[in-house]
Chain A
Amino acid sequence: MAHVSLRNVTRIAAGRRIVDDVSLEIADGSCQALLGPSGCGKTTLLRLLAGFDALDGGEIRFDDDVVARPGRQLEPEDRRVGMVFQSYALWPHLDVAGNVDYALRVRKVARAERRSRVEEALEIVGLPGFAERKVQNLSGGQRQRVALARCLAMRPRLVLLDEPLANLDAHLRETMIDAFRAFHAASGATMIYVTHDQAEAMALADRIAVMDQGRLRQVDTPVRLYDAPCDAMVARFIGQGQLLPVEVLAPPVSGQVRVRLYGYETDLRCEAGQGGGTATACLRPDAIAIAGTGDAGIAAHIRDVRFEGASQLVRIAPVSAPQTPLLLRTRGPVPAVGALVHVTVDDGWILPHAAQEAPETVAFERAQAAE
């Protein structure tokens, strides 16, 4: 239960700024995800919070106590922070109980209380009666839970998780997400969670911080990240966003503005103060639909269809711009490949102005076109 505050945190290694001037406030008891592609610095940031690496600039505080500053550092042993490692890092020479109560032994907690806390922790993570088991005999999911139980028993004020679901299969992931929720509820600790998988982040976190190349891009709730990404990187990273140049036709009215793309006019969301002229729109596949016969829309040919179970992901090539295909998701029947259809855009978001000048926009479009 700690409020975590990062101010201008920077870490430099091998001449590169791996974490670049990151400032973040994490509310007491919340679950914060650090999301981003590999190499973006999220794991380093986690290790700075844990105390394994020293920062070169800025400050980290837990509840107003300075925990790290350049040249000053509170050791991991003293931070009362729990960590769930990607490899689980269970100790093979100790059994499950030995792993879970290790921190309690360090603090010289009496045996009776240790045993009860171990059992309590194992109950919460769904492994009752596993205390005597050997670590080697456990499956991946069970080890994950033991790692969680180890954290629980410690009663930490902050829990750090490093890509905890990365090594699990899809079904197990579902179970584990529930386990995490139960864990969060039971411990009441602040949780900070590193992942490259947005679905994971969105399922668990109260807020998500998107990082790229050491810098924070956007810190927001999952909904807002999805609906209103602040720049091209976030837009593309979350929810298969597609970036297209559009022409703004009129000033915004209560958050919406009329635009034209590929000769088709529709209303998209935008921020207040959106000016006219060209802009970049972020369109999600779910917001594009195949129009009924006879309805107006962007003319396009169907390139291929991917079955996704509940829906289908269709790649189309607009007639007016066959080099830049679009993805759309639909539940209804899909015409054959090669057929000509009309598609409508039901929703979208105009990237804010500042992002529009960003050169990454162009690069991302080109990259998308190459797909």
Chain B
Amino acid sequence: MTNDRVTFKRAAMIAATLGFMFSAGSAHAQSGDLVIYTSTPTEQMDELVARFNETYPDVNVEYFRSGTTEVINRLQAEFTAGAPQPDVLLIADTVVMSQLKADERLMAYADAPIAGTDAALHDSDMTFFSTKLITTGFMVNTDNVADPVTSWVDLADEAIAGRLMMPSPLYSGAALIHVGTVTNLDGFGWDFYEALADGGAVAGRGNGGVLDAVARGEMDYGVIVDFMPLNAKADGSPVDFIFPDEGVTAVTEPVAILSTANNVEAAQAFVDWQLSEDGQRFHVEQGYLPLREGITPPDVFPAMDAVNVITIDPALLMEQTEEIKRRFADLFGG
């Protein structure tokens, strides 16, 4: 491993020199190893790497994929031992990124090409950048339920809560944002979750488990991120995704460069690509909502202007993270 580091440190230097000698637009000169830690599903990550390599063929991408919290655990262990490995982080939610930024683990990339996207979605200090829009609503099993409800409050109904499954904020970044947003929302708060708990709602681990349980008919309803059930529906599963009346919460799958990154050039190239038209179109192909204006969303999604995205201040969530996790764990079997 040490030898590898020496090799691509040298390679990075050469690349940087070359990059300096040639003008901007020689993005293809980036090379060397790029280590990414991500919570993107494996299949999609493989496709993403392949697509990225079409533009940047000389960059050798290695990635570690797990649930957001497991990724962060691993990273924290590496910080403790003094040898963090990745160059780039691509995980589900901005709250974790804010925490890392506060710990001064991230490197600012001032020249990131964010034009054409909503600046509010990115960090004001340019340490992390959103790449797509993933909303959280709820799904339903169409074999079991003929006439599904359409709003969040209905889920607290006793008849429905007992057949509802949710992802847990202890495992899923998207779930953390969701619970944080809802508990800070007027008319909901922790009372909403207590009602769900009383009604018998069940919390698993990640979103995948929710999809599995609802699609197989064990549960009727499931709080879940949008692309999973919509893609499953396209493949033939008896499911549907509901954008609730009150609105959806969202995570943006931010990407960031670590302050300890080895291959900064390639890392910046990766960020560039994520925000570029090619990258955004690729996200659409994978079934996600794009950030960039002018890119057509996937067919399975309805017209997005009708959907209300409820946002929350990441700083507030960062403060409340521990409390959210503990209270949720207490309610749903910690």
Q: Are A and B direct contacts in the complex by CB distance below 8 Å?
A: no
Binding site for B on A (CB under 8 A): none
**Chain B contacts to A: CB under 8 angstroms:** none
